[in-house]
Amino acid sequence: MKGGSVYRARGKHFTFTILAVICMTIFLWSYEKKPIATTIFSSQDQFILPTSDVLQVGYHNSEEAIKPEGQLFKESTNLPEETDDKTDPSENNVESLDETEGKRENYMTDGENADMQDRSQEHPSVVNTEPDQPVAEESSETIEDDTNIVSSEKKVCDYAKGRWVVDNRRPLYSGFKCKQWLSEMWACRLMQRPDFGYEAYRWQPKDCDMPEFERSAFLERMQDKTIAFVGDSLGRQQFQSLMCMATGGEESDIQDVGLEYGLTAPSGAARPDGWAFRFSETNTTILYYWSSCLCDLVPLNPEDPQSQVAMHLDRPASFLKRFLHQFDVLILNTGHHWNRGKVNANRWVMYIDGKPNQDRRLAMIGNAKNFTIHSITRWVDSQLPSHPRLKAFFRTISPRHFFNGEWNTGGSCENTTPMARGSEVNQNESSDQVIAGAVRGTRVSLLDITALSQLRDEGHISRYSIKASSGIQDCLHWCLPGIPDAWNEILAAQI
The model's pTM is: 0.73
User: Do the Cβ atoms of 412 and 463 come closer than 8 Å?
Assistant: yes
Q: Which residues contact 174 (CB under 8 A, 6 or more apart)?
A: 249, 481
The tally of CA atoms less than 13 A away on the side-chain side of residue 11 is 6
Does pLDDT of 394 surpass 60? yes
- In whole angstroms, give the CA distance from residue 414 to residue 473: 9
Q: What is the pLDDT, as a whole number, of residue 290?
A: 96
Q: Is the pLDDT of residue 132 over 50?
A: no
Question: Cα–Cα distance between 75 and 328 in angstroms, integer?
Answer: 42
157-210 residue pLDDT tens: 899 999 999 999 999 999 888 988 999 999 999 888 899 999 999 999 998 889
Beta-carbon contacts of residue 356 (< 8 Å; ≥ 6 apart): 349, 350
- Residue pLDDT, tens place only, 421-451: 889 999 999 999 999 999 999 999 999 999 9
Task: Give the model's pLDDT for residue 409.
Answer: 77
H helix runs in 250-299, sequence order:
none
Given pLDDT bands bounded at 50, 70 and 90, which one contains residue 28? low
Residue 13 banded pLDDT, cuts 50, 70, 90 = low
For the chain, give every domain's residue range. 2-40, 116-494
pLDDT higher than threshold 90 for residue 279: yes
pLDDT > 50? residue 225: yes
Per-residue pLDDT band at 252 (split at 50, 70, 90)? confident
Is the bond preceding 171 in cis, omega lying within 30 degrees of 0?
yes
pLDDT of residue 60: 30
| CA-wise closest residue to 42 among 364, 312, 314, 298 | 314
Q: What is the pLDDT of residue 153?
A: 52
In the three-class reduction of DSSP (H, G, I as helix; E, B as strand; rest coil), residue 50 is classed as coil
Rounded to whole angstroms, how far apart are CA atoms 404 and 440?
A: 36
Q: At 471, is the pLDDT very low, low, confident or very high (cuts 50, 70, 90)?
A: confident
Contact residues for 253 (Cβ-Cβ < 8 A; gap 6+): 279, 280, 281
Distance CA 456, CA 124 (A): 9
Other Cβ atoms less than 10 A from the Cβ of 2: the count is 6
Q: Look at residue 86 and tell me whether its pLDDT is greater than 50.
A: no
Average pLDDT, the chain: 77
Say what the pLDDT of residue 343 is: 93
* 394 vs 120 pLDDT, higher one: 394
Alpha carbon distance 453, 12 (integer Å): 70
Mapped onto helix, strand or coil, the DSSP state of residue 148 is coil
Structure confidence at residue 322 (pLDDT):
97
The string of DSSP codes covering 433-484 is: HHHHHHHTTSSPEEE--HHHHHT-GGGEEETTSTTGGGT--EEEEE-SSSHH
The set of residues, in sequence order, having a beta carbon less than 8 Å from that of 449 and lying 6+ positions away, is 160, 395, 396, 398, 486, 487, 490
Which residues touch 368 (CB under 8 Å, ≥6 apart)?
Answer: 313, 338, 350, 362
Enumerate helices (H) and strands (E) in the chain, giving the number of each: 13, 20
- Say how many residues make up the chain: 495
Q: Is the pLDDT of residue 122 over 70?
A: no
Higher pLDDT, 149 or 451: 451
pLDDT of 31 higher than 80: no
pLDDT confidence bin for 484, thresholds 50/70/90: very high
Of residues 472 and 433, the one with the higher pLDDT is: 433
For residue 476, give the nearest of 373, 405, 407 by alpha carbon: 407
Alpha-carbon span 104 to 175, nearest angstrom: 31
- Alpha carbon distance 315, 350 (integer Å): 11
**CA atoms 154, 160, 162, 166: torsion sign:** positive
Report pLDDT for 12.
56
Which has the higher per-residue pLDDT, 219 or 408?
219
Residue 1 confidence (pLDDT) above 60? no
